[in-house]
Amino acid sequence: MKLGINAYGKNAVNLSKIIRHADHHEFRQVSVSVQLSGDFDTAHTLGDNSQILPTDTQKNTVYVLAKEHFTGTIEEFGLYLAHYFVTRNPQISKARVAIEEHSWQRMSFDGQPHTHSFTGGTTEKRTTVVTQDAAGPVVVSGLKDLLLLKTTDSGFENFIKDEYTVLKETSDRILATQCEASWEYTATALDFEALYQQIRTSLLHTFSAHKSLSVQHTLYAIGEQILLDNDVVKEVSLVMPNKHHIPFNLEQFGLENKNEIFVATDAPFGYITGTVVRD
Amino acid sequence: MKLGINAYGKNAVNLSKIIRHADHHEFRQVSVSVQLSGDFDTAHTLGDNSQILPTDTQKNTVYVLAKEHFTGTIEEFGLYLAHYFVTRNPQISKARVAIEEHSWQRMSFDGQPHTHSFTGGTTEKRTTVVTQDAAGPVVVSGLKDLLLLKTTDSGFENFIKDEYTVLKETSDRILATQCEASWEYTATALDFEALYQQIRTSLLHTFSAHKSLSVQHTLYAIGEQILLDNDVVKEVSLVMPNKHHIPFNLEQFGLENKNEIFVATDAPFGYITGTVVRD
Amino acid sequence: MKLGINAYGKNAVNLSKIIRHADHHEFRQVSVSVQLSGDFDTAHTLGDNSQILPTDTQKNTVYVLAKEHFTGTIEEFGLYLAHYFVTRNPQISKARVAIEEHSWQRMSFDGQPHTHSFTGGTTEKRTTVVTQDAAGPVVVSGLKDLLLLKTTDSGFENFIKDEYTVLKETSDRILATQCEASWEYTATALDFEALYQQIRTSLLHTFSAHKSLSVQHTLYAIGEQILLDNDVVKEVSLVMPNKHHIPFNLEQFGLENKNEIFVATDAPFGYITGTVVRD
Amino acid sequence: MKLGINAYGKNAVNLSKIIRHADHHEFRQVSVSVQLSGDFDTAHTLGDNSQILPTDTQKNTVYVLAKEHFTGTIEEFGLYLAHYFVTRNPQISKARVAIEEHSWQRMSFDGQPHTHSFTGGTTEKRTTVVTQDAAGPVVVSGLKDLLLLKTTDSGFENFIKDEYTVLKETSDRILATQCEASWEYTATALDFEALYQQIRTSLLHTFSAHKSLSVQHTLYAIGEQILLDNDVVKEVSLVMPNKHHIPFNLEQFGLENKNEIFVATDAPFGYITGTVVRD
């Protein structure tokens, strides 16, 4: 027997930071997960911990380094952390740092932004996964739990019908998804903030403007548009579960459902995934 | 033995509606729960279902009536439903209809609102509970899962110290809560939309402007302000769990934590509840 | 304006304990929530914390007192805690201590129980709520998240049919629920362990033996049996959501569903609650 | 641009089955997820659905085929389903069928098993993933959400200490995990039921008997033992998050914590993963 693929680290390091400016405060909230790979065979086979940096220490490292180095994007902080772990520990061949950022919205009253009060943002999180090994760092950024919905310009027709098919074709349905997107950057010295806003806009704009013939069709269109708009993106992966909204059968009660009343269901759900790459 | 307090009904009736205007669509998503009370003793003691309106029928009723009657606020729809159940079923002495509305945000591009595409809103839900019995309907509206946070103007000092107290006094801490608020209206023919916006603004404004000496102190200030601002509100109940953000101990690593790096924790949590009433 | 009903305390104090016997270990895991009521008006209205025992101190108190006083049932520990808070703090008129215990099962190999290894138990938790005020302590014990299911001896017929009823009558369906039960004891010096086991058996036995004509019918039968079997129980409250298992429509594919293939659904769900009391 | 890796299917098909024997009933509950891969490029690029078997049809297929073919292990049902999808649809090059089975426990009274009543089992689920492509089917079975805990025979010492290390070495701690295990079989015509029981016993026995020097050490020991005991297992993968139980600091209150009172925490948590393979 021998050890195959393995990794260890600290997950769910929940960190909040107040950045204090002269006349207002910023508030940031992230969850950081560190996973380390390397020469850990004897830890497994012999219980030899001499090459093990405890996950508790990893956690402390995240909090300590956040003080000076979490001042900008999660990508920059992730790059710093991954570099830190790999360069200080020769036995670590690869560090993977995943960061999710929760959004907070500054309160406004009469058009004036408040200096230090916030409401919780949407379910959407901004994400990054920075991986660093001997080949250098790679940044894959994205978003998750972004709820998207359009009330028209979506259909599903001309599919296979077999003996177990009862689904009706429709040229007008609700399309809704809890979108997860990630994209690999070709470089690490980038304006991650501007790129994020630009890519997110490409995603939203394509979703809304596209005449969708299926989830797959929309998924590909979004990935293609992000690649067209952003040279520094190598590939785009999308996860688009189909959050079904099924028309309620009003006809059994003598009424017509003009595509207006729906049952929102959680399970079962269609699950569509795809990656769009450059030729 | 005999039957004491009892009720039954259908919970989590998840309903979506597209309201189709000439040039744009509205999208609404609610979860409706119906609970009926009345003369159901023999259902319990004898298994006599002759007075039982099945929960499946209650569910159908919600969907059917939504077609014509869910066109405005959840309060108006709740009033219609509660009245419907009570007036059609003499054995039902009380109907309780609870509705939660999920928020969706219309997409905008270059300042132009999109006609039919939306992103998911925040975790905040708008709520109402309409109860109707022989005394007539009562409307208790509110909100839940509203995340509130302020980075300063909050302290906690001068509390009791006993042999198990290690908490340090602080004049400057993060105050964060997942706020649930509900308020009872004194009437049922009201502009529920305008009132909701006004009350929510009172809540946010008080939270942000208040020099908080404790969660209790802020809770009361919010309730008091809502009552001062709104004659048609009889009383306000608030649930304000303390979402602790604990300063990370940087001092053990030779650094100073100038109230900037925090550990966000889920459990355990302080739980503060209170009702503010008129004299 | 003035303060109405209010309370505060620490929730979700997650505590584990190893009880070390000479030849084996016990392992206990509980979640404790403390809520205190009393003369806290000036804390709300003035921010005066001089009567406030911090929730952090409450948490510490739970951990410290567990060392000596959490040696038996959760009821005994709850009684000790509630008494402690009320008698040490004159401003506290009522303490409510709620405890949930998670179940762990000792591993066995070849019929031999292991001395110190355990697997997680079921979703079922044992619960107690001890309330103490000037009138003395009251113990309401129970269980929650107990999944119950029977594959026959359950029907639902002869219910009201109106214009929105499509549910078919059935004399043979699955009855499943995620049962929550609580019962108030008439005394506080009881063998809570033996009573719990006896009441739980009454509940399970009645559920399985009863010819159920509705959820209400079974709910009442369970409550009645617990009261018949246990003189020290004053009343029984039951929450029995209907975890629907809906026959899948095989007929549309030319097959007969002889009550064998079901769709398990989460929402919407019937929600049936009732209390059975002594005459 | 072009399409990279992609798949689609129906997730969370929740299916219950009563198997009716002459004198008792069996009750089974599973969640099935189907993912299909193949030649779906034009569905993405052109919105051409002519090669798309709708996820709704996939769901129906699961329910219909369960009637005759879900009579034994989830592995046998998964093999049947994967084979069905691949052989009926030439455009599908790979079908992945994942099944999770929830456990139910037959009630017993006075040592007699009840014929048709059940309580919910533990959080543990039995799992299988059957993948079929041109190379034939592969079965990877396992379990998840198995809570394991031992109160002694676990330590963590001799690890790296750097400037951010504060963790104390310990030779006696609680070791707890929410274990996920999966193992690849070398064949598909096996007694999956007997193998499952045998492998699960290897896992539990090794966990309890092992003198653990770290989570990694125990993880490897479990994987090694499963491979030693079972020739038909090719490799074993384990996910063992560290469910920390941290000793509560009683010393600050003048008491000694003899490894008896712990704080159970959810986040952050150590996350240890590894695969054990044959040489």
The dihedral built from the CA positions of residue C20, C25, C26 and C28, taken in this order, carries a sign that is positive
Does D6 reside within a domain? no
The residue annotated as part of the active site, out of A17, A69, A244, A245, is: A244
Strand partners, B19: B26
3-state helix, strand, coil in chain B (%, to 5): 25, 45, 30
B123 to chain C, minimum CA–CA distance in Å?
20
Assign A101 to helix, strand or coil: strand
The C-alpha atoms of residue C137 and residue C130 are separated, in whole angstroms, by 7
Interchain CB distance below 8 Å, C164 and A267: no
Find out whether A44 and D219 touch, Cβ atoms under 8 Å.
yes
> Is it true that the peptide bond before B247 is cis, omega within 30 degrees of 0?
no
Does D101 reside within a domain? yes
Interchain CB distance below 8 Å, B167 and C216: no
Assign A126 to helix, strand or coil: strand
Strand partners, A273: A239, D7
Does B54 reside within a domain? yes
Q: Are residues A125 and A205 in the same domain?
A: no
Average the pLDDT over C229-249 and give the result: 97
Q: Are residues B118 and B44 in the same domain?
A: yes
- When divided into structural domains, chain A yields a total of 2
- Is B119 a residue whose pLDDT tops 90? yes
Active site residue B55: yes
The C-alpha atoms of residue A88 and residue A208 are separated, in whole angstroms, by 47
Find out whether A192 and A163 touch, Cβ atoms under 8 Å.
no
Interchain CB distance below 8 Å, C228 and B165: no
Average the pLDDT over C251-267 and give the result: 96
Q: Are residues A224 and A106 in the same domain?
A: no
The C-alpha atoms of residue B156 and residue B158 are separated, in whole angstroms, by 7
The residue annotated as part of the active site, out of B10, B59, B102, B243, is: B10
At position B158, the amino acid (one-letter code) is N
Considering D134, D156, D183, which residue would you say is the last residue of a domain? Answer: D134
What does the pLDDT read at residue B121?
86
Nearest CB neighbour to C266, from listed A163, A164, A267: A267
Nearest CB neighbour to C120, from listed D14, D105, D123: D123
Does A3 reside within a domain? no
The C-alpha atoms of residue C79 and residue C76 are separated, in whole angstroms, by 5
Look at strands B25-38 and A13-20 and give their pairing: unpaired
Does D140 reside within a domain? no
C56: nearest CA partner in chain B: B167
The C-alpha atoms of residue B166 and residue C49 are separated, in whole angstroms, by 16
- Is B66 a residue whose pLDDT tops 90? yes
The C-alpha atoms of residue A228 and residue A268 are separated, in whole angstroms, by 34
- Burial class of residue B132, CB neighbours in 10 A (0-12, 13-18, 19+): buried
- Is D9 a residue whose pLDDT tops 90? yes
The C-alpha atoms of residue B161 and residue C99 are separated, in whole angstroms, by 25
| Residue A263 CA, distance from chain mean position | 27
The C-alpha atoms of residue B191 and residue B76 are separated, in whole angstroms, by 10
Find out whether B149 and A114 touch, Cβ atoms under 8 Å.
no
The C-alpha atoms of residue D207 and residue D175 are separated, in whole angstroms, by 10
Which position has the token pair 């040039």?
A: B23
Q: Are residues D157 and D270 in the same domain?
A: yes
Which CATH number does the domain housing residue A119 bear? 3.10.270.10
Q: What is the 3-state secondary structure (H, E, C) of D119-152?
A: EEEEEEEEEEEEEEECCEEEEEEEEEEEEEEECC
Virtual CA dihedral for C188, C193, C196, C201, nearest 10 degrees? -150
At position A73, the amino acid (one-letter code) is T
What does the pLDDT read at residue A121?
86
The per-residue pLDDT string of chain A (279 residues; one tens digit each, 9 = 90 and over) reads 999 999 999 999 999 999 999 999 999 999 999 999 999 999 999 999 999 999 999 999 999 999 999 999 999 999 999 999 999 999 999 999 999 999 999 999 999 999 999 999 899 999 999 999 999 999 999 999 999 999 999 999 999 999 999 999 999 999 999 999 999 999 999 999 999 999 999 999 999 999 999 999 999 999 999 999 999 999 999 999 999 999 999 999 999 999 999 999 999 999 999 999 998
What does the pLDDT read at residue A223?
98
The residue annotated as part of the active site, out of D10, D59, D102, D210, is: D10
Which position has the token pair 């044959």?
A: D278
Q: Are residues D42 and D91 in the same domain?
A: yes
E-only strand ranges, B134-197: 136-150, 175-185
Give chains near D: 3+ CB pairs under 8 A: A, B, C
Does C87 reside within a domain? yes
Interchain CB distance below 8 Å, A252 and C163: no
Interchain CB distance below 8 Å, C12 and B43: no
Interchain CB distance below 8 Å, A107 and B204: yes
Q: Are residues A169 and A250 in the same domain?
A: yes
Mean pLDDT, chain D, rounded, equals: 97
* A57-91 burial: b if 16+ Cβ within 10 Å, else e: bbbbbbbbbbbeebeebbbbbbbbbbbbbbeebee
Nearest to B102 by CA among C96, D44, A245: A245
The C-alpha atoms of residue D214 and residue D158 are separated, in whole angstroms, by 10
B188 to chain C, minimum CA–CA distance in Å?
23
The residue annotated as part of the active site, out of D17, D25, D42, D55, is: D55
- Please list the alpha-helical segments (H only) found in B163-214: 192-209
Residues of B in contact with A29 (CB under 8 A): 264
The dihedral built from the CA positions of residue C242, C248, C249 and C254, taken in this order, carries a sign that is negative
What does the pLDDT read at residue C46?
97
Q: What percent of chain B is modeled with pLDDT above 90?
A: 99
Give chains near B: 3+ CB pairs under 8 A: A, C, D
Strand partners, A108: A113
Helices C55-69 & C74-88 angle (0-180, nearest 10): 130
What does the pLDDT read at residue B98?
98
Give chains near A: 3+ CB pairs under 8 A: B, C, D
The C-alpha atoms of residue D21 and residue D19 are separated, in whole angstroms, by 6
Average the pLDDT over D240-266 and give the result: 96
What does the pLDDT read at residue D121?
86
A80 to chain C, minimum CA–CA distance in Å?
35
The C-alpha atoms of residue C120 and residue B122 are separated, in whole angstroms, by 35
The C-alpha atoms of residue D18 and residue C274 are separated, in whole angstroms, by 29
Nearest CB neighbour to D8, from listed A2, A216, A276: A216
D151: nearest CA partner in chain C: C116
What does the pLDDT read at residue A41?
96
Q: Are residues B111 and B211 in the same domain?
A: no
Nearest CB neighbour to D163, from listed B164, B253, B266: B253
Average the pLDDT over B206-223 and give the result: 98
CA distances B11 to A33, B98, B143, B266, C218, Å, are 37, 9, 18, 27, 20
Assign B13 to helix, strand or coil: strand
Does B7 reside within a domain? no
What does the pLDDT read at residue A234?
98
The C-alpha atoms of residue D20 and residue D27 are separated, in whole angstroms, by 9
- Burial class of residue A93, CB neighbours in 10 A (0-12, 13-18, 19+): middle
Q: Are residues C95 and C159 in the same domain?
A: no
Active site residue B244: yes
The residue range of the domain holding C197 is: 146-277
Which position has the token pair 């996973």?
A: A35
Nearest CB neighbour to A40, from listed D5, D45, D216: D216
Find out whether A6 and D275 touch, Cβ atoms under 8 Å.
yes
Size of interface B-C (CB pairs under 8 A): 246
Residue B110 — left, alpha, or beta (φ > 0 → left; ψ -120 to 50 → alpha)?
left
- Chain B interface test: which of A201, A260, A263, A266 (most B C-beta within 10 Å): A260
- For A73, phi then psi, to 5°, come to -75, 160
* D150-167 burial: b if 16+ Cβ within 10 Å, else e: bbbbbbbeebeeeebbee
Considering B134, B155, B186, which residue would you say is the last residue of a domain? Answer: B134
The C-alpha atoms of residue B160 and residue B179 are separated, in whole angstroms, by 26
CA distances B148 to B214, B215, B238, D67, Å, are 15, 12, 13, 51
Q: Are residues D93 and D121 in the same domain?
A: yes
Interchain CB distance below 8 Å, A14 and D268: yes
Q: Are residues D160 and D205 in the same domain?
A: yes
Nearest CB neighbour to B162, from listed C55, C57, C220: C57
What does the pLDDT read at residue A33?
98
- Is D59 a residue whose pLDDT tops 90? yes
At position B191, the amino acid (one-letter code) is D
The C-alpha atoms of residue D233 and residue B152 are separated, in whole angstroms, by 58
Question: Which residues of C sit in the known binding site for O2?
Answer: 55, 242
Q: Are residues D85 and D158 in the same domain?
A: no
C267: nearest CA partner in chain A: A265
Considering C134, C168, C190, which residue would you say is the last residue of a domain? Answer: C134
For C83-128, what is each residue's pLDDT tens digit? 999 999 999 999 999 999 999 999 999 999 999 999 998 999 999 9
What does the DSSP 8-state code read for residue B253? G
For B12-48, what is each residue's pLDDT tens digit? 999 999 999 999 999 999 999 999 999 999 999 999 9
The C-alpha atoms of residue B200 and residue B182 are separated, in whole angstroms, by 11
Residue B74 — left, alpha, or beta (φ > 0 → left; ψ -120 to 50 → alpha)?
alpha
What does the pLDDT read at residue B231?
97
Assign D208 to helix, strand or coil: helix
- For A193, phi then psi, to 5°, come to -65, -50
Residues of C in contact with A266 (CB under 8 A): 266-267
Q: Are residues D273 and D159 in the same domain?
A: yes
- For B134, phi then psi, to 5°, come to -60, -25
Residues of B in contact with D163 (CB under 8 A): 253
Does D177 reside within a domain? yes
Residues of A in contact with D40 (CB under 8 A): 216
B215: nearest CA partner in chain C: C44
Q: How many CB atoms lie within 10 A of CB C113?
A: 11
